[in-house]
Structure 1
Amino acid sequence: MNPRSVFAVVTVVLFGLGLRLLFGSTSALTSDIAAFYSADSVSMALLTTGPVICLGVCAAAAGYFVRRARVENVLVCCLILVAVGTAVRAVPSWPILVAGTLVAAAGIAVANVLGPVLVRVIVQEWSRPERPEDRAVSGRRLGLLTGVLTAVISASAGVASGVSVPVAEALGGGWRWVLGLWSVPVMIAALCMAVFSRTFVGSKSPAVPGAVGAQGTSGVLRSPVAWAVTAFMGLQSLMAYSLIAWLPTIYQDRGVDAAAAGVLLTALSVSSVVTALTVPNLATRLPDQSLLAAAVVLPTCAGLVGVLSSADSWALLWAVLLGLGQGGQLSLAMTLMNLRAATARDAASLSSMAQTVGYVLAACGPLVCGAIHSASQRWEPSVMFLLAVTAPMAVAGALAGRRAVFGVDVRRDAILRDS
């Protein structure tokens, strides 16, 4: 790879890292936050679930911004918003903590939508000098770069969760500073994205001209495959954010100390890297991804059954299984946003819909799990609810994996998957 391509990959890695640090750090420090602010369960739900709702509500704005600026420039603004929102969380004020969290989540929402589009733009730039018959190479690059992005996104929440508590203890209980310090890597990502925008596609026209226009929006809403991708994205996100929000708490309530419970979430996130890197590459080589979609749900089923069994001595294994499922599901969902779309413009439309609707659905997960626990005073019913979610997730994934394409002109525009 030439230096410009290496820098593009580094930028994608730093970009992905900045998209989940907010959630992992909040999850690890939930007990400290609640105790310091004397926050009740409703207030804490605002802090843990409010950002997920923001991901859905604000994701729709991605289309507006990307019609007026290049994808890379929009992402620079998003990352700056995330960094500022994360930094102000160090201020000892509950309203500022909540406001900063929601501001950062708004930036993450738009960045989430444009992540798959960024990958597609980079792959198209790499493939521009090649012959049309080299689409197989483009497909492998799409799978590889999607896997890298998803792996970093999956791992970042666990990194923040596992590191936040030890760093807070090293600072003498300065957990508020830890919340704010996570803005530093996000700011570095924003700087790299700004340089990337100037050097990689510097003077070219907008990367996704006319993205998410009226025709594309109405088309995506009428597309069965687009709704299948949306359902799969939403249900896997519901699962992921429920586990991020409550898995450490489940084990703390069973007597595991906070640091060890945070390590379980780290194990979940690190293990997700394995499937996040491999599933997209496999998906781009298959003519149909239905069986693969069903397969990536199986480790989640096994992990939830393990958590339900209360065999805490095997907690690390259950976390690893949950991570393998989570990494495969998220990476496949992001890959399908490109495989089911004919053009980058259509990918932006599909990504916007899938993440707008999907994250609103995802926000229900932590709320429902918390409500079930409050009503029963036990975690087993909440875990059973998540186990039940795996069935419709597998069905949605199988439907989204069928060989079908959404796009305003499929015949004209080549699909990176075809080879």
Structure 2
Amino acid sequence: MADGAGSPTAPDAVWRAGAFAVAAIITFGLSLRLMFGSASSLIDEIRDGYHLDAVEVALLTTGPVVCLGLGASVAPRLARRFSVLPVATVAMAVLAVGTALRAVPGWPILLVGTLLGGLGIAVANVLGPVLIRLLFPRRIGAMTGLLTALICVSAGIASGITPPLTRAVGDSWRTGLGAWAIPAVLAAAAMAVLTVGRARGLRREARAATEVPVVPTPAPTVGLRARMRWAITGFMGIQSLLAYATVAWVPTIYRDRGVSADKAGLIFAVLSVSSIVTALGVPVLATRMRSQRVLAVAVVVLATAGILGVLTTGTWGAWPSAVLIGLGQGGALSLALVLMNLRTASAAEATTLSAFAQTVGYLLAATGPIAMGVLHSLTDGWSVPLIALAATMVPLAACGVVAGHPGAHDRGMSAAAAPVPAYPQSDTGGAGVARSPIHSDGARPNP
């Protein structure tokens, strides 16, 4: 619907702005794990093609996770200097370049491309919860669920599609790896459109109102706030350890049990698709509850049951075990992300907490694939590595119990107290991004 001048009415423009922002989040979330899933399904081909030893394989599978931890620490400084959307755009572009480099022959180029992509993902990981808070402040639960579901399912999509994709392009596994740069290119383009549209539509006062004053990550404060910060960090780190250990080794475990590469990829795809259920549902429930302890324990129980299923049931129990791990993993990641918003009072605090939790958490997570690989080499089997992985669910549950129950000093933002949406009923930007009438702390600017 348009007015006499042929321009869209305010409601139409607002609807288009919101729809495009959702589409941008979809491409953004999908891009964050494709690189990991595609490599895990072709690890044997990569190892044989480049004659890699165990250390080099560990660099390929764990190096990017280390980059996630190291790169996360710079995200707040970049966001403070350049603002969130431009940094997210560049992060997606870096991911696209790194992923595309994996199609170029040469082991050093493959490693550099993988690590470069890991740095792009690291920055994007930190900014994900902040983008949700800025663009959809009254839909934090639902949009966090959507983002988490996309992150979870993307690794499975890549794991399941990469082997047949490789055959379709003439058994070129390098092309199969590099092809996953396309979604990252689309995500970078979508973020660029949001950035340009926002810049066009902002007046000087509104621009100051929507700027995110991010400060470098401070040391944890004393008392209950420090306890909460470390609990969220521990929960984020251990659930990430579970995620990257399963991405790195679940397909290999089943291939070692005689399962074909295609079927092993499908098993992991089922794991990832199953995570959508809890990834979508847990954040919505979490934003409606003051305490999230029950949710934390529930997702840990599901993941533990799945790990024990992989340990004890062999190939016949692969499918239900994958479903259980997926349900636990999707719920744990989405709960970790939504807690970063529920336990903070502003986008600036959320960015700081997100960076701290992901810096420490991903460095912890990097030990998972390495430890499982070392234990497998020492024991020549997968029983001990899986038992060790199941044991990490105990501290995960403990961190969840602490992080899921806010104390008197753990101020945060409930769903009911969320600020007004970033898409007001008028004054949208040129590319469909609305002018936000709020400061980063949720307060309206003076007229």
Fold agreement, TM-score > 0.5: yes
Q: Conserved in 1, the CA contact under 8 Å of 2:95 and 2:184?
A: yes
1:208, distance to aligned residue in structure 2 (A): 4.8
The question of 1:217 aligning with 2:236 is answered no
Paired residues, what number? 397
The question of 1:243 aligning with 2:246 is answered yes
The question of 1:352 aligning with 2:365 is answered no
1:79, distance to aligned residue in structure 2 (A): 0.4
Q: Conserved in 2, the CA contact under 8 Å of 1:211 and 1:348?
A: yes
Partners of 1:251 and 1:209 lie apart in 2 by 46
**Equivalent residue number for residue 103 of structure 1:** 116
**Equivalent residue number for residue 257 of structure 2:** 254
Partners of 2:415 and 2:395 lie apart in 1 by 26
**Equivalent residue number for residue 294 of structure 2:** 291
RMSD of aligned residue pairs (Cα, Å): 1.6
SS of the residue aligned with 2:81? coil
**Equivalent residue number for residue 53 of structure 1:** 66
Normalised to the residue count of structure 1, the TM-score between the two structures is 0.92
**Equivalent residue number for residue 128 of structure 1:** none
Q: C-alpha deviations, 1:28-66, integer Å up to 9, x for none?
A: 110000000000111000000000000001110001101
Name which of 217, 224, 232 aligns with 1:229: 232
Counterparts in 2 of 1:227-376, with a 5 A limit?
A: 227-376=230-379
Structure number with higher helix proportion: 1
Gapped regions of structure 2 (runs ≥ 5): 1-13, 418-447
1:169, distance to aligned residue in structure 2 (A): 1.2
Partners of 2:209 and 2:40 lie apart in 1 by 37
Partners of 1:205 and 1:22 lie apart in 2 by 36
Q: Conserved in 2, the CA contact under 8 Å of 1:158 and 1:270?
A: yes
Partners of 2:415 and 2:284 lie apart in 1 by 11
SS of the residue aligned with 2:32? coil
**Equivalent residue number for residue 156 of structure 1:** 154
Give the aligned residue type for 1:95.
P
1:335, distance to aligned residue in structure 2 (A): 0.3
Does the C-alpha gap of structure 1 residues 80 and 320 become closer, same or farther in structure 2, counting only changes over 3 Å?
Answer: same
Does the C-alpha gap of structure 1 residues 78 and 405 become closer, same or farther in structure 2, counting only changes over 3 Å?
Answer: farther
SS of the residue aligned with 1:402? coil
1:173, distance to aligned residue in structure 2 (A): 0.9
The question of 1:8 aligning with 2:9 is answered no
Give the aligned residue type for 2:219.
S
Gapped regions of structure 1 (runs ≥ 5): 125-137
- The share of aligned pairs that are identical, in percent, is 48
**Equivalent residue number for residue 88 of structure 2:** 75
1:198, distance to aligned residue in structure 2 (A): 2.5
Partners of 1:158 and 1:273 lie apart in 2 by 11
**Equivalent residue number for residue 168 of structure 1:** 166
The question of 1:415 aligning with 2:413 is answered yes
Give the aligned residue type for 1:82.
L
Q: Which has the larger radius of gyration?
A: 2
**Equivalent residue number for residue 444 of structure 2:** none
1:415, distance to aligned residue in structure 2 (A): 1.8
